[in-house]
Amino acid sequence: MSYLLGVLIFVVALLVSIMLHEAGHFVSAKAFSMKATKFFIGFGNTVWSRTRGETEYGIKALPLGGFVDITGMSNLDAVDPADEPRTFRAKPPWQRSVVLLAGSFMHFVIGFVLIFAVALAIGEQNTTTISVTACVPAKATQVNCPPSAAKSPAVLAGLRNGDKVVAVDGHKVSTWNQLTSQIVAHKPGTSVAFTISRDGRQFTKDITLAPLKWRKKGGFLGVEEVPFVHVSPVTAVQSTASQFGQVVTASVDGLGKLPSEIPKLFSPNRAKNGGGVTSVIGVGEATGQVVSASGVSWQQKAAFVLLVIASVNIFVGLFNLLPFLPLDGGKLAVVIFEWIRSRLARLFRRPDPGPVDMQRLIPLSVGFLFVFVCLGALLIAADIFNPIQLTQ
């Protein structure tokens, strides 16, 4: 039941994101007095609709996207001469650009707000704030410390729960991954300088790392990650901006690596082998797995779901800006090209060449759609027949 709830949460969030994307186009078009005749969620047969003013609002049978019908989006559209002044094509380039960018802008706003909500309401994650482990464990599965166990280096050094490690041997660390990488880079028995932040002040302690019998590489300090650290609104904004940038970077890298990831889609142990690209089916599956997982706190589940939805929105916003028709980025590229061509014509005192002949761009649009549909079908097939398992 909880699995289905997780999938349902993701599906509803996706539909809301689509609606807000189209609302961005719709509101900005209305702000510039463009005529918008339809605002629909989904495609196919109309399930419900209602006309208010000059616009028909409704829901289609297939919730696979949405659309706003703005009059005169290209020179191929037949328009009543009386409506020509209110067409998209009749407006200045900067207004058309704003309308086209508004959809991706809404995705970015959704992503930023959700990341901020997690940081402020649940807590900041992947920080270097520590909780101290009492002893040096004799084995990886040890939970409690027997009386005979040696105290951990962190205890011997006087570290406390809630301390924040800001540097290791002079190397600044800001994430838990960076901290653990710095620790295991030093051999057992090595004295390492840890810079600690506590109650608004910083100090440095030289701590000798302990060995672990069951781990050959790296020393042991004796600290654990604090999953969620409560922060102020100002810190939450700073953390959100940093994490937003990380998601943008990861999304761009993911798009660049997509061709090399395709052969891994149907490989055994897909997630472990790096075939991490997935479709919305896979993301919904992952959300269901986490929500239904046992031994996971509600904070971890809520944070995962919200951050996944945020990441998907940021990725979709970036993907939508790619300069390929029929994406908004492709339409924006046409607007920019028309503007540059018009400025050059004016500079050389030549007649304005007018709008681009969209008829000539149809083959490019169809070609991109074909590749996109094929790739989407391949990803969906991989998510159905070779899904990524996040939980065991």
Q: Would you tell me which CATH number, out of the four given (2.120.10.30, 2.40.30.40, 3.40.390.10, 2.30.42.10), belongs to the domain 130-225?
A: 2.30.42.10
| Sheet (strand 191-198) strand order | 171-172, 164-168, 191-198, 201-208
Give residue-wise pLDDT tens across range 63-91: 777 889 999 988 888 888 898 999 999 99
Q: What is the residue extent of each domain of the chain? A: 99-124+232-392, 130-225
Segment 350-376, tens digit of pLDDT? 988 888 888 888 888 899 889 888 888
In sequence order, the β-bridge partners of residue 69 are: 38
E strand map for the chain? 36-52, 55-70, 130-132, 164-168, 171-172, 191-198, 201-208, 210-212, 215-220, 223-225
Q: Looking at the chain, how many residues does it have?
A: 392
Selection from 288, 328, 319, 317 nearest residue 305 by Cα: 288
Residue 232, pLDDT > 60, answer yes
Give pLDDT tens digits for 97-133: 999 999 999 999 999 999 999 999 998 888 899 999 8
Coil, helix or strand at residue 80: coil
Residue 124 annotated as catalytic: no
> DSSP readout, 343-388?
HHHHHTT-----S--GGGGHHHHHHHHHHHHHHHHHHHHHHHHS--
The pTM for the full model equals: 0.84
The label of the residue with tokens 């390492």 reads 192
Q: pLDDT band for 274, please (50, 70, 90 cuts).
A: very low
pLDDT, tens only, 153-184: 999 999 999 999 999 999 999 888 899 999 98
Q: Who has greater pLDDT, 268 or 14?
A: 14
In this prediction, residue 392 carries a pLDDT of: 47
pLDDT at 19 > cutoff 80:
yes
- Answer yes or no: is pLDDT of 388 > 80: no
CA distance 392 to 144: 24
Cα–Cα distance, 162 to 225 (Å, whole number): 10
Q: Which of 22, 124, 225, 285 is catalytic?
A: 22
C-alpha to C-alpha distance for 137 and 95, rounded to whole angstroms: 64
